[in-house]
């Protein structure tokens, strides 16, 4: 795979890359760059988590070493449970990520508390705290905190710790949802002053929930790995999917972000009386037929549920 092919694969389905020029330069100069995602182990994984996992798989194919930070202390500061509960969840998450498709030989799983309690980490975080205003730390947390109106002091440590994580783990490319952007920009601006390189950042979109609204933990409008195959099927059949509409359509998004990256051809099975089977090589082909109302939402939903269940089954067995 040459540099252009790697770039095309890495850019696929992303919301933003900061910056594409730096990414190209990295690919040209470094044989095995290092990328990471930090996950708060606070429950079973859902399609939002798997969106970034898909990008890690793309990066592995492009020659990257992957580090997954199971951020137990971050989760604790963000009020996701006791440390004991969080660490049990972290072990389950690790098994699920590997079953989902990450290459075991190219993936390091790191528990945050294994290095975030060491003296050098803490001292450098204190140094960083002198460089970042309270307002900047609060703004960085606005999209990810559980307490936007009345945040705890501990939540202000979160973006400082994430910045230190990127530096200490030797990260070339940080991956996260677009809600992580402010924290990533804080890291890019401040890491050089601590004698670390600034990281490249890849941001993934925030998916539309099954109800057609923004995916949200308060609404639980997503598909969870703990859902049975029948529950997945029922959730998809009940999901928002207006005929002919592509934008903010959760079924189309599942097809784009979770199914097509894993398959070469997508088949809609239909009876001959309804036009027979349809096969597609790209999500754009599906969108074209759907927007012209040549593909019915019910037929699309049935096939999406079948394909998604096949993709999720190996990880589901680990729960």
CA dist., res. 137 & res. 156, Å (int): 6
Per DSSP, which regions of 40-147 are E strands?
A: 65-70, 107-111
DSSP state of 46: B
Closest CA to 96 of 308, 318, 313: 318
Percent of the chain with pLDDT over 70: 98
The pairing of strands 278-280 and 266-268 is: antiparallel
Calculate what percentage of the chain has a pLDDT beyond 90: 83
Q: What is the pLDDT of residues 76-131, one digit of tens each?
A: 988 889 999 999 999 999 999 999 999 999 999 999 999 999 999 999 999 999 99
Q: What are the DSSP calls for 162-194, one per residue? A: HHHHHHHTT-SEEEEEGGGHHHHHHHHHHGGGG
Task: Out of 3.10.50.40, 3.30.360.10, 3.40.50.620, 3.30.70.2860, select the CATH number for domain 3-204.
Answer: 3.40.50.620
**pLDDT category, 145, cuts 50, 70, 90?**
low
Does position 148 have pLDDT exceeding 70, yes or no? no
Q: What share of the chain is helix, strand, coil (3-state, %, to 5)?
A: 55, 15, 35
pLDDT digit string, tens, across residues 222-247: 999 889 999 999 999 999 999 999 99
Q: Residue 214's pLDDT is what?
A: 87
Q: What is the dihedral of CA 64, 65, 71, 72, to 10 degrees?
A: 150
> Which of 58, 64, 67 has the alpha carbon at shortest distance from 10?
58
At 210 the three-state DSSP class reads: coil
In 3D space, the residue among 266, 263, 270, 265 whose CA is nearest the CA of residue 311 turns out to be: 263
If you average pLDDT over residues 254-259, what whole number do you get? 97
Which backbone phi and psi does 180 adopt, to 5 degrees?
-90, 0
Q: Residue 146: what pLDDT?
A: 56
Residue 250 above 70 pLDDT? Answer: yes
CATH topology (fold) of 229-316: Tyrosyl-Transfer RNA Synthetase (1.10.240)
Per-residue pLDDT tens over the stretch 52-78: 999 999 999 999 999 999 999 999 988
Tell me the domain boundaries of the chain.
Answer: 3-204, 229-316
| Tokens matching residue 221 | 């409008």
Give the chain's mean pLDDT. Answer: 93
How much is the pLDDT for 220?
Answer: 82
φ, ψ dihedrals at 67, nearest 5°: -115, 125
| Cα(301)–Cα(292) distance, integer angstroms | 17
Mean pLDDT of 201-223: 90
* Range 286-296 average pLDDT: 96
């Amino acid at each position: 795979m040459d540099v252009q092919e790697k770039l095309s694969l890495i850019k696929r389905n992303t919301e933003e890359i900061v910056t594409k020029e730096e990414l190209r330069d990295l690919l040209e100069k470094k044989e095995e760059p290092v990328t990471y995602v930090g996950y708060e182990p606070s429950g079973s994984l859902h399609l939002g988590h798997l969106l970034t996992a898909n990008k890690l798989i793309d990066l592995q194919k492009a020659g990257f070493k992957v580090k997954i930070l199971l951020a137990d202390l971050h989760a604790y500061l963000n009020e996701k449970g006791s440390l004991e509960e969080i660490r049990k969840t972290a072990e389950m998450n690790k098994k699920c990520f590997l079953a989902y498709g990450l290459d075991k030989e190219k993936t390091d799983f790191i528990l945050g508390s294994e290095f975030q309690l060491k003296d050098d980490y803490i001292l450098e975080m204190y140094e960083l705290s002198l460089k970042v205003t309270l307002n900047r730390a609060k703004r960085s947390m606005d999209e990810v905190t559980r307490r936007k109106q009345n945040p705890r002091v501990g939540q202000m440590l979160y973006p400082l710790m994430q910045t230190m994580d990127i530096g200490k783990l030797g990260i070339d490319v940080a991956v996260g949802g677009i809600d992580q952007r402010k924290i990533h920009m804080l890291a890019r601006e401040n890491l050089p002053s601590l004698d670390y390189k600034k990281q490249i950042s890849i941001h993934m979109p925030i998916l539309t929930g099954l109800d057609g609204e923004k995916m949200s933990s308060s609404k639980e409008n997503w598909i969870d790995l703990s859902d049975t195959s029948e529950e997945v099927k029922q959730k998809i059949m009940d999901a928002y999917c207006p005929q002919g509409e592509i934008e903010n359509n959760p079924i189309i998004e599942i097809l784009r972000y979770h199914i097509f990256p894993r398959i070469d051809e997508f088949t809609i099975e239909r009876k001959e009386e309804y036009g027979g089977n349809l096969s597609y090589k790209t999500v754009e082909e599906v969108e074209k037929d759907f927007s012209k109302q040549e593909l019915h939402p019910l037929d699309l939903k049935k096939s999406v549920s079948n394909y998604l269940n096949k993709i999720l089954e190996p990880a589901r067995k680990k729960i």
